[in-house]
Structure 1
Amino acid sequence: MTGGTQEDRVTRYDIVIRGGEIHNGSGRPGRVGDVAIRDGLIVALDQVEGRGVEEIDAAGCIVTPGFIDVHTHYDGQAMWENTLAPSSNHGVTTVVMGNCGVGFAPCRPDQHDMLVELMEGVEDVPEIVMTTGLPWNWETFPDYLDALDRRQLDIDVAAQLPHSAVRVYVMGKRGAGREAPTSDDLKQMRAITAEAIRSGAIGVSTSRNILHRTKAGEMAPSLFSDKDELLALAEGLRDAGAGVFQMIPQVTGNAAEEFALMRCIAETSGRPLAFSLLQMQTGDPGAWQQSLALLADAVADGVTMRAQVFPRPVGFLYGLDLSFHYFTLHPSYKAIAHLPLTDRVAALRDPDMRARLIAEQPSSSNEVELALCKQFKYAFPMGDPPNYAPDAADQIARRAAGLGLSVPEYALDLLVGDEGRAIFFLPGANYRDGNLDAARTMARDPNTVLGLGDGGAHYGMICDASYPTSYLQSWVRDAPPATAIPLPEAIRSLAWEPALSVGLEDRGRLELGHRADVNVIDLKALRLHAPTTAHDLPAGGRRLRQRADGYVATVAGGVVTYRNGEHTGALPGRLVRGARSAP
């Protein structure tokens, strides 16, 4: 018998990415070469002689690991649809959800409404979307993971156990009412945490942020939990010998005292702890710097802790077709809020309606919502492309004064612009009078990890899951040479560092044997578009979407999932159960 044709003897791969500048995620300089993929893994690098069933021309492009966002809220979206956008539109191939102590498991059948109300308030997911979209085919957290395991998605997901859900599950209405737990309650919380980790949860999460409230203004169950309750969760991690502890600390108060509590949790659990860190607009302007200094001391002492930071201002978005704007809580606007957008625009142009709205005051039992509406005057026109570092002179209140108008008068003129589709941006954190130095400093600190994209939540108020694109565009490609972040460092920050922080060491690097999650990006063509609204959630619910140009291809699990920003229909994404060691 003959040995077959020469073509038969050529090594075959599923995909070969040719001639791109490979940035492997280590932080080392890129090199031009090829990447070969077979059976979902990277199997050859540099000069690949064989052929791929699919060949991708990456000449002139950068080739990177798939990005990882460790702070999202796709807990519901992963159950009612197969694409985890906006994250998957921006090169993200793995997300970690269940952050901030909120989620949908564990949950008894008579507690569904409590968790829905909490998610509606804290994460701005409409009630009708959840009641229509959630199958509730689980009770315990292992049940929830099993339900996730049956899903087919465009990217991988890892889930965390949410503290507020645990509290309600164990204590019922006592937990929702933030009563102190009994010793038996604490034992149950500890056991539930260990059980969740052993069944595949990546960690446990909690929130101490006073802004986290239900739609009615009630504070989240986890807020103000005593130290012994938080340590019960930490002990559950210790019992399981795995998992991470994610926490949003108090955004006001003494930074040193809050950090001491977090350090105690990390030391008790013996597991990594990650906490959200922002430069707040109010309060102590140096609190973030104090937290970074305390973090450096803890790491030097051998305590595994990281701060999750955001590389641009955290942005609240306003508009007639979004959750909030200046008049959302005015009585006359509430009377027309149910109307189609075109009818509301017509109503707001009516002189009598305008006069009523200008004379009225907002009304709500939720003080956080009241504050959000009043802060509209500090927002900026969004623009396209979006400007995340606006000039302080363009603030709505300052523009109104310059035109000789009151804020309500000017707000009405702005809101009916573009037939009611105009969007306005309020830098909620990491921004002081146009200065983003704090965001840049936090992003480059050796003890921080990029995250806080919040994908899957804040459907009508925040669209921050696009940060990988803006980071590469604004901080790397377009920044002045003196302040530009080197491309290899930026890729490491988007891929390998977040992977390490949650123990997913099988991804985030372009190395032999690693999971084949890959982006091919035309960096010169990279362009982030302004957010837009779509009414495509369950029951016609509204959400913000944000597209980008420049993503030539995204590969997840060895399958091309996006070409030129368009979904191919492939759904290789699955639940990731627990930590993964490096190959």
Structure 2
Amino acid sequence: MEYDLVIRGGLVCDGTGAPAFHADVAVKDGRIAKVGDVTGRGAEEIEATGRIVTPGFVDIHTHYDGQVTWENRVAPSSAHGVTTVLMGNCGVGFAPCRPHEREMLVKLMEGVEDIPEVVMTEGLPWNWETFPEYLDALEKRELDIDIATQLPHSALRIFVMGERAARQEAPTAEDLDKMRALVAEAIKAGAFGVTTSRNVMHRTKAGELAPSLYSDVDELCALADGLNQADAGVFQMIPAPSGHSEEEFAVLRQIAEHGRRPVSFTLLDVAGQPGKGWRGMLEALEQARADGLEMRGQVAPRPVGMFYGLDLSLHPFSSHPSYKAIAHLPLAERVAKMRDPEFRAQLLSEQPEDTNPTTLALIDAFRATHEWDGPRPDYEPVRDNRIEQRAERAGQSWPEYAYDLLLRNEGRQMFYLPAANYTAGNLDAVREMLGHPDTLLGLADGGAHYGLICDGSFPTYFLQRWARDACDDQRITIEDAVAELTSRPAAAVRMTDRGRIAVGMKADLNVIDLDALDLHLPFVAYNLPAGGKRMQQDADGYVATVVSGVVIQRNGQPTGALPGRLVRRGRELMAA
């Protein structure tokens, strides 16, 4: 056979945003060999008539840092057309790390990214200490899709400062020199950037702030110096969502001016944020571009929210003393206990007790959740159907009302809180942010928040909601939507060999039935190390997903093929 794979007759959206065109796509040795009328045969062929053919999606905001060390599927992202993920975001990760500091990073990841400690204790092999050694360990892994990573600031701070990193101590001049050198070392070894967080919600489970939260701007600029020293890499940060928007952007701009490297940050529509909020940040981005700075806001395509339920990480009574006493029991036993009228009365008489103020705030926020009881997910719920309003109409307090709802479906009922990006009860702000030239699609958070968030499905939702189903004045063309998922994120982090369908590019591809594209309800699966649980979400419409010319998924089912590898910055062409 002349080719390894030929995809025939599809409508090719090449990832550039150019008008789609009908063509065959031929693959040889992991690369795209021809686009057009392919007369030669392939060892494997896929009929794509009536389907769209796209580059594989590039997700630049994930947290698979641990998961890829203990399992081979980068799920849920690989089930939603993603063929490359970038990890190590928000300043948290597992390298560099000395043996006696492992527990600190595990507890930090448990609190910030909702990954149970026992899962990490059981799953992480810890066959590294320095960041280059972590990359070497990842390079040995065989996965369904490609992975790339960044250097996390909190791990770096602990590696350099030890216990001082978490004791609100400022770094010494020697500490800053070490940080600069280690950032440069990581970039030269293949990291795509350095990341940090200023979000006060980022805490250990016990409530201690992430080490990066104790950093002043001079320390952040030292990290940028390391990028500048290596002459490569992107600086990624999550600003303080409750901070004054102009002041937070001023910090971002100072980093960009100091390091002269691209800056990427989380951009959200947050209720009550001081300053001009997201609109002010868009204006500031435009000015930065005019001044020659490369800065982009990462935007989620739907509300940034979370789920609650008895089988998930949080619910209204998860921190009540009486519930803590039964929390270790299997779900069925907890449900039976909670149906006891005496236990109900006792639990409702208590108040939540927790050392973590973020946990208490999230528990109280349950009052604004929406019950998901339909056959399909509803990410744009009607505001009048929030739990507290339903309770008022029923003549009950919201905890009383919520108690009985939690027991539905044998305790598996889910409740959704659309928080950021839904402050007006619609997605108009999201659409405006998505259409801005200085923003990127991001924030899917795959590999984290196992019992709170299930946003690895962002690519599917984005295509379905904004490219196919949106009204005419809000619709994003399919060509532009595909570019947002492929070439734009790849270019932003300097991945030069993927994100476009063109001869010589890496053969990462999707064949999609756009009309059939649909999201299922999330569900809980107990398939992590030590029996840990996580939310997963399936999708219809993916006819095939291809990585390096190898089909990894057909019609929503993995083939078992594992062509995915670590991508090192500057060596992308070696990834196939």
1:485 aligns with 2:476: yes
- 1:205 corresponds, among 195, 218, 238, to 195
1:462 aligns with 2:456: no
CA distance in 2, matches of 1:579, 1:348: 56
Deviation at 1:432? 2.1
Check the 8 A contact 1:505/1:580 in 2, yes or no. Answer: no
1:149 aligns with 2:135: no
CA distance in 2, matches of 1:286, 1:267: 22
- 1:48 corresponds, among 38, 52, 59, to 38
- 2:71 corresponds, among 73, 81, 85, to 81
Deviation at 1:44? 0.5
- 2:397 corresponds, among 406, 409, 414, to 406
Deviation at 1:384? 3.1
Sort the Cα spacing of 1:348 and 1:220 in 2 relative to 1 into closer, same or farther, 3 A. Answer: same
- 1:297 corresponds, among 271, 284, 287, to 287
Check the 8 A contact 1:312/1:439 in 2, yes or no. Answer: yes
Pairing of 1:151-166 with structure 2 (within 5 A) = 151-166=141-156
Name the structure 2 match of 1:63. Answer: 53
Deviations 1:231-257 (A, max 9, x none): 111110011111111011111222222
Name the structure 1 match of 2:273. Answer: 283
- 2:172 corresponds, among 182, 192, 197, to 182
Name the structure 1 match of 2:488. Answer: 497
Name the structure 2 match of 1:258. Answer: 248
Check the 8 A contact 1:502/1:579 in 2, yes or no. Answer: no
CA distance in 1, matches of 2:469, 2:405: 30
Name the structure 2 match of 1:426. Answer: 417
Pairing of 1:86-105 with structure 2 (within 5 A) = 86-105=76-95
- 1:114 corresponds, among 84, 104, 109, to 104
- 2:312 corresponds, among 311, 319, 322, to 322
Calculate the TM-score normalised by the size of structure 1: 0.97
Deviation at 1:557? 1.0
Q: How many residues align?
A: 573
CA distance in 1, matches of 2:92, 2:513: 37
CA distance in 1, matches of 2:170, 2:189: 28
Pairing of 1:354-365 with structure 2 (within 5 A) = 354-365=344-355
Deviations 1:109-143 (A, max 9, x none): 10000000000000000000000000101000000
Name the structure 1 match of 2:234. Answer: 244
Calculate the TM-score normalised by the size of structure 2: 0.98
Deviations 1:19-52 (A, max 9, x none): 1110001111211111101111111012111111
1:393 aligns with 2:384: yes
CA distance in 2, matches of 1:285, 1:411: 35
Name the structure 2 match of 1:523. Answer: 514
Which stretch shows the higher mean deviation, 379-388 or 195-204? 379-388
Check the 8 A contact 1:279/1:285 in 2, yes or no. Answer: no
CA distance in 2, matches of 1:444, 1:311: 11
Check the 8 A contact 2:444/2:458 in 1, yes or no. Answer: yes
Check the 8 A contact 2:246/2:275 in 1, yes or no. Answer: no
Say which SS state the counterpart of residue 356 (structure 1) adopts. helix
Say which SS state the counterpart of residue 211 (structure 2) adopts. coil
Check the 8 A contact 1:327/1:362 in 2, yes or no. Answer: yes
Deviation at 1:315? 1.8
1:557 aligns with 2:548: yes
Deviations 1:284-306 (A, max 9, x none): 48411001100110011110111
Compute the RMSD of aligned alpha carbons: 1.2
CA distance in 2, matches of 1:93, 1:199: 22
Q: Which amino acid aligns with 1:408?
A: P
Unpaired stretches in structure 2, ≥5 consecutive residues: none
Name the structure 2 match of 1:547. Answer: 538
1:572 aligns with 2:567: no
Runs (4+) of structure 1 exceeding 3 A deviation are: 579-583
CA distance in 2, matches of 1:335, 1:253: 37
Deviations 1:212-239 (A, max 9, x none): 0001000000003111111111110011
Q: Which amino acid aligns with 2:96?
A: P
Name the structure 2 match of 1:270. Answer: 260
- 1:441 corresponds, among 419, 432, 435, to 432
Which stretch shows the higher mean deviation, 369-378 or 397-406? 397-406
Name the structure 2 match of 1:5. Answer: none
Q: Which amino acid aligns with 2:162?
A: G
Deviation at 1:258? 1.6
Deviation at 1:332? 1.0
Say which SS state the counterpart of residue 19 (structure 1) adopts. strand
Name the structure 2 match of 1:348. Answer: 338
- 2:211 corresponds, among 216, 221, 237, to 221
Say which SS state the counterpart of residue 186 (structure 1) adopts. helix
Say which SS state the counterpart of residue 260 (structure 1) adopts. helix
Check the 8 A contact 2:421/2:429 in 1, yes or no. Answer: yes
Check the 8 A contact 2:169/2:214 in 1, yes or no. Answer: no
1:311 aligns with 2:311: no
Say which SS state the counterpart of residue 252 (structure 1) adopts. coil
Say which SS state the counterpart of residue 172 (structure 1) adopts. helix
Unpaired stretches in structure 1, ≥5 consecutive residues: 1-10
CA distance in 2, matches of 1:526, 1:111: 45
Deviations 1:352-395 (A, max 9, x none): 11111111111101010011111111011124310111110111
CA distance in 2, matches of 1:291, 1:582: 35
CA distance in 2, matches of 1:197, 1:431: 37
Name the structure 2 match of 1:133. Answer: 123
Name the structure 2 match of 1:4. Answer: none
Say which SS state the counterpart of residue 483 (structure 1) adopts. coil
Name the structure 2 match of 1:509. Answer: 500
1:368 aligns with 2:380: no
Deviation at 1:399? 1.0
Deviations 1:416-447 (A, max 9, x none): 11111111110121002421111111111110
Sort the Cα spacing of 1:105 and 1:564 in 2 relative to 1 into closer, same or farther, 3 A. Answer: same
- Percent of aligned positions with the same letter in both sequences? 60
